[in-house]
Amino acid sequence: MPRILTIVGARPQFIKASPVSHALAAAGLTEILVHTGQHFDALMSDVFFDELAIPKPSYNLEVNSLGHGAMTGRMLEKLEASMRIEKPALVLVYGDTNSTMAGALAAAKLNIPVAHVEAGLRSFNRRMPEEINRIVTDHVSSLLFCPTRTAMANLATEGVTQGVHAVGDVMYDATIAAVARSEGRSSILETLGLTAGTYAVATIHRAENTDDPARFVKVVSWLEAAARDGVVVMPTHPRTRKLMAQLGVSPAGVQLVDPLGYLDMTRLVHHARAVFTDSGGLQKEAYFHRVPCVTLRDETEWVETVEAGWNRLWEGPNCGPRHDIPDYGQGRAAHLIADLIATYVTK
Ligand code: UD1
């Protein structure tokens, strides 16, 4: 049976890979997992493998805490070596991180077909490292799995029309599974002393908000103002924690906690009154839980959430009337992806 080599490295990729990994196994495909090591803390990595029952990676490349060029370069070299050993029929990558782009490039250079989950997203802001990663990955991929029709249209605008499929959003699949499991297994509300429906959840980690101290101070002030209106709890990314220590700033009134596992985060967001974030994934998760979101950025790739009245940009207009978003699918995106991959590698 042809083998699939999957590359993960950062927190959101562990979540996205979980439903797809299970669906690939159900479709009878053998999957080899490679962890680039980009996220390495127990709280940023191990906990996700445990909670999501993802197979143990066959390789951990331990590439982390480097600048973009060095990180991507070392990943490229090490990923190429593992691909030469494993000789996969296809390489599977997720999202928009440095691990995604390094995986896609390493495979493309070896003439191994690349499948990209979450293809076609664009913020149209090329100052974001993620935007460069998305564009490069999409342009070297043979199978492009789009979560939305907007993503398909973005690819068509760039002349990418072959191998493009609208499958829905794998994070919706993951959320459905996690909501059911988290209710019995997470006691995060009790641990943090929170009452359902009364608090907001905040997360900040994007380079665009954390690379420029002036910008970060503006984000901190925004959070402080929000905290004057009600409880705000903020699971804090290591990058953000480091920056707060360096600058000696911390949002007054905001309850800072360590990064949470997926089940705790799911339960926390599910019962929140609002979400404030610069994360791509969390904007959508807020909608999946039907919790209103403010995105602390100047643009978003997930324009559907704004159009549907569930999300707004921090300096944008207030939310319009709310409606559901059919694009994200019915929680079967992972199965559709596995079937399309199985057809592709056995043809
Ligand atoms: C990366 C992705 C981003 C994604 C995010 C999810 C890129 C360009 N960015 O950003 O698209 O939304 O992951 O979280 O790939 N660190 C730790 N412990 C960890 C992980 C990171 O201390 O387990 C530190 C690193 O050493 C570094 C900083 O946090 O100093 C940032 O990590 P990095 O991997 O550069 O990117 P993220 O901000 O996590």
Do 100 and 41 share a structural domain? yes
Residues 147 and 207: their CA atoms lie apart, in Å, by 24
Write down the pTM of the prediction.
0.96
Do 10 and 43 share a structural domain? yes
Per the annotation, the verdict on 205 as an active-site residue is yes
Do 186 and 91 share a structural domain? no
Tell me the CA–centroid distance for residue 206 and ligand 1, in Å: 8
Closest residue to atom 21 of ligand 1, CA basis: 39
Helices and strands per DSSP (H, E), number in the chain = 15, 13
Do 41 and 28 share a structural domain? yes
Residue 250: inside a domain, yes or no?
yes
Handedness of CA 141, 142, 148, 154 (dihedral sign): positive
pLDDT per residue as tens digits for the range 178-206 = 999 998 899 999 999 999 999 999 999 99
Do 16 and 143 share a structural domain? yes
pLDDT per residue as tens digits for the range 249-271 = 999 999 999 999 999 999 999 99
Tell me, using a 6 A CB cutoff, whether residue 46 lines ligand 1. Answer: no
pLDDT per residue as tens digits for the range 211-228 = 999 999 999 999 999 999
Residues 19 and 175: their CA atoms lie apart, in Å, by 10
Do 153 and 9 share a structural domain? yes
* DSSP type of residue 95: T
Q: Cβ–Cβ contacts within 10 Å for residue 90, how many?
A: 20
Which pLDDT score is estimated for 210?
Answer: 96
Residue 176: inside a domain, yes or no?
no
Residues 337 and 94: their CA atoms lie apart, in Å, by 12
Do 249 and 137 share a structural domain? no
- Note whether 100 and 126 are within 8 A (CB): no
Tell me, using a 6 A CB cutoff, whether residue 134 lines ligand 1. Answer: no
Closest residue to atom 7 of ligand 1, CA basis: 97
Q: Cβ–Cβ contacts within 10 Å for residue 75, how many?
A: 28
Do 259 and 144 share a structural domain? no
Do 91 and 73 share a structural domain? yes
Residues 236 and 154: their CA atoms lie apart, in Å, by 32
Q: Exactly one of 205, 237, 271, 335 is catalytic; name it.
A: 205
Do 202 and 106 share a structural domain? no
Tell me, using a 6 A CB cutoff, whether residue 18 lines ligand 1. Answer: no
Whose tokens are 């944008």? That residue is 316
Do 116 and 17 share a structural domain? yes
In total, how many domains does the chain have? 2
Q: Cβ–Cβ contacts within 10 Å for residue 109, how many?
A: 13
pLDDT surpassing 90 at residue 80: yes
Residues 151 and 160: their CA atoms lie apart, in Å, by 11
Tell me the CA–centroid distance for residue 277 and ligand 1, in Å: 15
Residues 114 and 106: their CA atoms lie apart, in Å, by 10
Closest residue to atom 35 of ligand 1, CA basis: 65
Ligand 1 binding pocket mutation candidate from 68, 131, 239, 301 (most atoms within 8 A of CB): 239
Which pLDDT score is estimated for 1?
Answer: 79
pLDDT, mean over the chain: 97
Residue 196: inside a domain, yes or no?
yes
Do 230 and 131 share a structural domain? no
Residue 186: inside a domain, yes or no?
yes
Pick the atom of ligand 1 nearest to 96's CA.
11
Which pLDDT score is estimated for 347?
Answer: 84
Range of the domain at 211: 181-327
Tell me the CA–centroid distance for residue 210 and ligand 1, in Å: 11
Residues 325 and 322: their CA atoms lie apart, in Å, by 10
HEC assignment per residue over 213-257: HHHHHHHHHHHHHHHHCCEEEEECCHHHHHHHHHHCCCCCCEEEE
Residue 42: which CATH number? 3.40.50.2000
